[in-house]
């Protein structure tokens, strides 16, 4: 194929949804290549003109279809399409305007189209990587520069003879055009090498076809230029097929982008880290060494030296960079634990003069129920929450504070020149700052924090002592829901007890020390026991039977609630199966915590557990709390409807103690409400409490829900509830929670419980 001056690399892009256009392009290229090999000496119009032009315009059609399918919105596709179109138009002009001897004046209009190809293709490459380059580290960008400049050095050395021969002082325009071709080739190859040297870039699955096409074009340009210098190039050489092959390869790339659901930069092919920079440095050294033996272009030597110099920059700054990385938290950019321990001695200085004693404070912060955010919304949302939390903490702290992230959701703050009052005031301010809602990708997330405070030097003379005591204080604040707590000597025993209890609790879960007690639920109209509630107890080997309030908070904090829930469900359902075998139908209610309900697989697991025991789904009722219903309404709706589809009943526990909004009663599949004991106990002495209970029962019935009263501890309360129309009662007046065998004895010996005459 005829070329004027120095040849051009060819197009770039993605395009069609079907594969047949690509096959057609390659069929034309193969036919053209065979024609070049077989037509013999001299030009052949069929091969050199018609087939040659078809190899140019067939890929152009693929590029334009890709541009239309992407709605002209992909900059890389649009620029590449314009590049290959001008290249083909220039080639068509060349073959139609050349004289009978196959010559065309140089430069000509064909050179305008050929030369415009280069800046347009460079613009396509820039558009392809622009959005990703902003997020890359400086070291990756430096690797790209090393790769680009090293490639430019090699290409400059190879094109030295071409550049020398192109210089003609009598023809300034011809010289500029002739030099422009190898310079543009150099820039294009350098750009490709720079992109390939950035392992953080993902350019798309077909990136290799784009690279291959550009490199084939550049290689053909160089070979053509060297042949032209020696006067050996002739139209119709097999070399002409190389440009056609380069266009065909780039058409494969553009074909993928034109598919309806395609996106740029998905699943990209990545170059091994440091591969291209290493090759570039070796090439630069090779040019420098070769320059001592053979004359090299000055520009090639300069570029080779610059390649080696840039590659050495990371070595100079590596020590500083590694030190900074070792002291910085990757996620938030805050100082990490190592930095805190390194800086603490300078901040915690003990003065020999008590009057000049410098007081400081260490604060440990831990987000409450952060694990639920990770479990329910995903770790990526959890990470974004931590980034926003760190920003709010930094903004709310006084200038003399040192903030660090210790790991997970735990942060530390060193307050210089702060006593107990000052540290407490800062803690209150931090809690207020974190109480505001966080916006995360359209989600509104609320969190709270527990803060432990230890004072220097009163409660520790180094950071290790302060960390241990602040940690104890933080867990006291979390356990008692205080928000913040200043360490006191009593916390030592509390901390030791907590750690010991946590270890014993893990043993209890693995060694079957948990037991389930059952408390009956009595239907008030018939006085019949129509169900029971399963209540967990811990049969501690040395401390005896522990009630839930003695260990459930610790279970929640330590992330063991999932395990405990499954143990209780298993024991309760096993007991329901035993009762069913003995002809007793007694539905069991089991409490499910909010942290367990965030598990999306839980409804399926519960349904499978019920089915495995051949129990009817109505034999199980799950008791949930209002905080779960209100904290994540969409997730609650999904979980509850899936449980309802499985036939599982739903009860709202501790009703009335949570939120004022009752819209969830209308929107969610709920079967019953359990009125909290705090409303039932004062009924006998408080008319307003009794009125509130009566109205709540009426509300439940208006919505078609059953009402269960908890904490019924006297006949007076039982009678009042029956008079108000309450459906079920549960409490010590009927029976305390007891093991299953005792419950069976109680049921067998139980006399009919008659309501008072005035009911």
For residue 591, list its beta bridge partners: 623
What pLDDT is stored for residue 89 in this prediction? 92
3-state DSSP assignment of residue 396: helix
Task: Identify the residue with better confidence: 241 or 103.
Answer: 241
Task: Identify the residue with better confidence: 255 or 106.
Answer: 255
What pLDDT is stored for residue 147 in this prediction? 61
Q: How far apart are CA 259 and CA 255, in angstroms?
A: 7
Share of the chain above pLDDT 70, in %: 71
Question: Torsions phi, psi of 323, nearest 5?
Answer: -65, -40
CB-based contacts of 338, cutoff 8 Å, min separation 6: 326, 327
Residues in the chain: 759
Q: Report how many helices (DSSP H) and strands (DSSP E) the chain contains, helices first.
A: 28, 16
Q: Indicate the pairing of strand 529-540 with strand 588-591.
A: parallel
CB 710 within 8 A of CB 680: yes
What pLDDT is stored for residue 594 in this prediction? 74
What pLDDT is stored for residue 202 in this prediction? 56
Task: Report the candidate in 380, 374, 546 with the shortest Cα–Cα distance to residue 555.
Answer: 546
- Report pLDDT digits (tens) over 47-68: 878 888 898 898 999 889 888 8
Cα distances (angstroms) measured from residue 581 to each of 99, 271, 494, 528, 534:
104, 66, 47, 20, 19
Work out the mean pLDDT of the chain and round it to a whole number: 78
Does the pLDDT value for residue 759 go beyond 80? no
- Report pLDDT digits (tens) over 132-184: 555 455 555 556 666 666 666 766 776 666 556 555 545 556 556 665 666 67
DSSP designation for 682? G
Does the pLDDT value for residue 428 go beyond 70? yes
Q: How far apart are CA 595 and CA 552, in angstroms?
A: 12
Most confident of 431-440, 489-498, 529-538: 529-538
Of the candidate ranges 50-59, 113-122, 373-382, 493-502, the one whose mean pLDDT is the lowest: 493-502
Q: How far apart are CA 270 and CA 97, in angstroms?
A: 44
Average pLDDT estimate for 226-243: 74
3-state DSSP assignment of residue 361: strand
Task: Report the candidate in 698, 737, 702 with the shortest Cα–Cα distance to residue 721.
Answer: 698
Q: How far apart are CA 87 and CA 221, in angstroms?
A: 14
| Rg of the chain over all Cα atoms, to the nearest angstrom | 39
Task: Identify the residue with better confidence: 123 or 753.
Answer: 123
CB 538 within 8 A of CB 506: no
Of the candidate ranges 114-123, 338-347, 367-376, 625-634, the one whose mean pLDDT is the lowest: 625-634
CB 509 within 8 A of CB 552: no
User: Could you please report the per-residue DSSP string of 701-752?
Assistant: HHTT-EEEEE---SHHHHHHHHHHT--EEESTTT---B-HHHHHHHHHHPPP
Alpha carbons within 13 A on the beta-carbon side of 621: 23
> b or e along 598-627 (b: 16 or more beta carbons within 10 Å of the residue's beta carbon)?
beeebbeebbebbeeeebebebbbbbbbbe
Task: Identify the residue with better confidence: 352 or 230.
Answer: 230
Question: Torsions phi, psi of 279, nearest 5?
Answer: -65, -40
> pLDDT-based confidence at 439, cuts 50/70/90?
confident
Does the pLDDT value for residue 522 go beyond 90? yes
Does the pLDDT value for residue 602 go beyond 80? yes
> pLDDT-based confidence at 553, cuts 50/70/90?
confident
Question: Torsions phi, psi of 518, nearest 5?
Answer: -130, 130
**In terms of C-beta density within 10 A (0-12 exposed, 13-18 middle, 19 or more buried), how is residue 657 classed?**
middle
CB atoms within 10 A of CB 452: 27
Task: Report the candidate in 253, 248, 224, 240 with the shortest Cα–Cα distance to residue 91.
Answer: 240
Does the pLDDT value for residue 399 go beyond 70? yes
> pLDDT-based confidence at 411, cuts 50/70/90?
very high
Most confident of 162-166, 205-209, 391-395, 558-562: 391-395
Does the pLDDT value for residue 97 go beyond 70? yes
CB 603 within 8 A of CB 570: no
Q: How far apart are CA 748 and CA 740, in angstroms?
A: 12
Q: How far apart are CA 222 and CA 161, in angstroms?
A: 11
> pLDDT-based confidence at 545, cuts 50/70/90?
very high
Q: How far apart are CA 211 and CA 436, in angstroms?
A: 50
Q: Give the predicted TM-score (pTM) of the model.
A: 0.47
CB 361 within 8 A of CB 420: yes
Question: Torsions phi, psi of 297, nearest 5?
Answer: -55, 140
Share of the chain above pLDDT 90, in %: 18
Q: Where are the alpha helices (DSSP H) in 419-558?
A: 420-435, 463-479, 490-510, 552-557
CB 368 within 8 A of CB 448: yes
Does the pLDDT value for residue 211 go beyond 90? no
What pLDDT is stored for residue 270 in this prediction? 47
> b or e along 552-564 (b: 16 or more beta carbons within 10 Å of the residue's beta carbon)?
bebbbbeebbbeb
> pLDDT-based confidence at 551, cuts 50/70/90?
confident
Does the pLDDT value for residue 291 go beyond 60? yes
Most confident of 52-56, 321-325, 519-523: 519-523
Beta strands in 119-231, from DSSP E residues, in sequence order: none
CB 452 within 8 A of CB 485: yes
CB 593 within 8 A of CB 632: no
DSSP designation for 684? G
Helix axes 561-581, 490-510, angle to 10 degrees: 40
Average pLDDT estimate for 696-710: 91
Secondary structure element (H or E) that encloses residue 625, with its range: strand 620-625
Q: How far apart are CA 42 and CA 195, in angstroms?
A: 41
Does the pLDDT value for residue 77 go beyond 60? yes
What pLDDT is stored for residue 7 in this prediction? 36
What pLDDT is stored for residue 515 in this prediction? 95
């Amino acid at each position: 194929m005829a070329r004027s001056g120095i040849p051009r690399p060819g197009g770039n892009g993605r395009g069609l949804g079907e594969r047949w256009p690509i096959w057609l392009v390659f069929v034309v290229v193969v036919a053209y290549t065979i024609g070049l090999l077989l037509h013999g000496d001299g030009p052949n119009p069929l091969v050199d003109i018609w087939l040659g032009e078809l190899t140019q315009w067939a890929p152009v059609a693929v590029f334009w279809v890709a541009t239309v399918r992407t709605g002209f919105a992909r900059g890389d596709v649009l620029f590449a399409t314009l590049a290959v179109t001008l290249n083909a138009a220039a080639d068509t002009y060349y073959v139609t305007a050349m004289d009978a001897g196959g010559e065309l004046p140089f430069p000509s209009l064909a050179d305008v189209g050929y030369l415009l190809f280069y800046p347009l293709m460079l613009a396509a490459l820039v558009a392809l990587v622009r959005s990703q380059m902003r997020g890359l580290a400086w070291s990756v960008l430096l690797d790209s520069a090393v790769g680009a400049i090293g490639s430019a050095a090699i290409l400059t050395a190879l094109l030295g003879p071409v550049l020398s021969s192109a210089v003609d002082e009598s023809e300034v325009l011809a010289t500029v055009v002739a030099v422009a071709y190898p310079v543009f080739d150099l820039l294009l190859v350098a750009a490709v090498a720079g992109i390939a040297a950035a392992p953080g870039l993902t350019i798309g699955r077909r990136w290799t076809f784009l690279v291959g096409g550009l490199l084939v074009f550049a290689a053909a340009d160089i070979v053509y230029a060297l042949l032209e210098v020696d006067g050996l190039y002739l139209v119709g050489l097999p070399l002409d097929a190389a440009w056609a092959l380069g266009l065909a390869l780039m058409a494969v790339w553009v074909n993928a982008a034109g598919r309806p659901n395609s996106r740029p930069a998905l699943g990209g092919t990545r170059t091994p880290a440091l591969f291209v920079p290493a090759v570039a440095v070796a090439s630069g050294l090779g040019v420098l060494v070769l320059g001592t033996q053979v004359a090299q272009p000055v520009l090639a030597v300069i570029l080779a030296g610059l390649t080696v110099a840039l590659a050495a920059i990371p070595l100079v700054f590596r020590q500083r960079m590694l030190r900074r990385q070792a002291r910085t938290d990757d996620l938030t950019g805050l100082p990490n634990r190592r930095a805190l321990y390194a800086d603490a001695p300078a901040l915690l200085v003990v003065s020999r003069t008590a009057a000049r004693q410098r007081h400081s404070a260490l604060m440990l912060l831990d987000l409450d129920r952060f694990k639920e955010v990770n479990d329910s919304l995903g770790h990526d949302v959890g990470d974004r929450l931590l980034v926003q939390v760190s920003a709010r903490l930094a903004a709310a702290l006084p200038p003399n504070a040192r903030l660090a992230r210790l790991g997970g959701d735990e942060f530390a703050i060193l307050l210089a020149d702060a006593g107990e009052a000052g540290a407490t005031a800062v803690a209150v301010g931090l809690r207020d700052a974190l109480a505001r809602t966080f916006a995360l990708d359209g989600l509104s997330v609320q969190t709270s924090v527990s803060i432990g405070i230890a004072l220097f030097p009163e409660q520790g003379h180094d950071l290790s002592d302060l960390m241990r005591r602040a940690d104890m204080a933080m867990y006291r604040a979390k356990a008692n829901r205080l928000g913040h707590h200043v360490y006191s000597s009593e916390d030592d025993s509390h901390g030791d007890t907590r750690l010991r209890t946590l270890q014993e609790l893990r043993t209890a879960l693995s060694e079957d020390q948990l037991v389930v007690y059952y408390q009956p639920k009595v239907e008030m109209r018939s006085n019949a026991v129509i169900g029971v509630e399963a209540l967990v107890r811990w049969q501690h080997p040395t401390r005896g039977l522990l009630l839930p309030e003695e260990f459930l908070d610790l279970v929640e904090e330590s992330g063991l609630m999932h395990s405990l829930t499954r143990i209780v469900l298993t024991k309760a359902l096993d007991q329901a199966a035993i009762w069913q075998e003995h002809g007793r139908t007694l539905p069991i209610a089991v409490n499910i915590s909010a942290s367990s309900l965030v598990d999306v697989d839980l409804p399926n697991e519960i349904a499978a557990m019920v089915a495995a025991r051949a129990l009817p789904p109505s034999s199980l009722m799950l008791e949930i709390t209002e905080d779960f219903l209100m904290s994540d309404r969409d997730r609650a709706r999904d979980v509850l409807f899936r449980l309802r589809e499985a036939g599982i009943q739903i009860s709202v526990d501790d009703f009335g103690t949570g939120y004022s909004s009752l819209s969830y009663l209308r929107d969610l599949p709920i079967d019953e409400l359990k009125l909290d004991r705090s409303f039932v106990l004062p009924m006998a002495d408080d008319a307003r409490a009794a009125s509130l209970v009566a109205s709540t029962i009426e509300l439940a019935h208006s919505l078609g829900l059953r009402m269960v009263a908890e904490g019924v501890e006297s006949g007076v309360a039982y009678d009042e509830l029956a008079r108000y129309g309450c459906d079920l009662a549960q409490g010590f007046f009927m029976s305390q929670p007891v093991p299953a065998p005792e419950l069976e004895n109680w049921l067998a010996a139980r006399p009919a419980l008659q309501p008072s005459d005035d009911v």
